[in-house]
Amino acid sequence: MSPIFPCKGCGTFIERSTQHYRRVKGQVLCSTCSDARREAEARTLRRRHPLRRLLFRIRSFWS
């Protein structure tokens, strides 16, 4: 059975693996908060200069 961690966004307790917890360095998010964060990043990405968008995608690919 996987351990239960609190979501860093809303505080809801969610079940995630310890390996996932270590990979995200304790910043565990529930699916709702994760989707909201991705949507916010996508909105800010659309407003950036095209070269900055490219650099952001390269950095996110390697991390």
Residues 8-41: pLDDT tens digits? 989 999 998 889 888 888 889 999 999 999 888 8
Sign of the CA dihedral with 6 first, then 30, 35, and 62 last: positive
pLDDT-based confidence at residue 63 (cuts at 50, 70, 90): low
Contact 18, 5 (CB under 8 A): no
Q: Residue 20: helix, strand or coil by DSSP?
A: helix
The number of beta carbons lying within 10 Å of the beta carbon of residue 14 is 15
pLDDT at 45 (0 to 100) = 67
pLDDT above 80 for 49:
no
What pLDDT sits at residue 12? Answer: 92
